[in-house]
Amino acid sequence: MRFVIALASTNVARGTGGPFGAAVFERTGWRLVAIGVNLVESTRCSHAHAEMVALANAQQTVGRFDLSAAGFPTHELVTSCEPCAMCYGAIPWSGIRSVLCGARASDAEAIGFDEGAKPKNWVAEFKRRRITVVRDLCRKEAAAVLQAYKKGGGAIYGARKTS
């Protein structure tokens, strides 16, 4: 988790994107497969979230769109913040079997990001799909990156909430 928090922090410090980092690992042995940072602004692409970038990079690295294909190791997504609605939707299709999260969506929302509409019971939905979720790993450290981003004047972007 500290590795992806450092990715997020470095992304902010370099001004290359938002305060989010992610990585895909093989669950057994923790071999790093791919990393991703938020690149929404630099790529002018709304779906260039850290998780989406990490998943795309992992799929390119292993040469398959399904990270749970027969004969492949089990893959895990480690992310500095809980997935937003878009990333939540992509995770089951990617073949990821577990998700480890740092900050909560509420931490991202506290600085103004709109995390979108996802089920309140999203962890149970993943469990139903045999995807395990671990939350609040190094949460204070991950949330501190979000706060530093806001204090530094980082752009807050995303869908517009309606009342």
State yes or no: is 51 an active-site residue: yes
User: Would the CA dihedral through 6, 8, 11, 12 be positive or negative?
Assistant: negative
Q: Give 159's pLDDT tier (boundaries 50, 70, 90).
A: low
Partnered with residue 25 across adjacent β-strands are 32, 76
Cβ contacts of 121-127, under 8 Å, gap ≥ 24: 122/83, 122/88, 126/91, 126/92, 126/99
Q: Is 148 helix (H, G, I), strand (E, B) or coil?
A: helix
Q: Which residue among the candidates 51, 76, 82, 115 is catalytic per the annotation? A: 51
pTM of the model: 0.94
Chain centre distance of CA 103: 10
Least confident range from 44-48, 50-54, 87-91, 133-137: namely 44-48
Gap between the Cα atoms of 18 and 135, Å rounded: 21
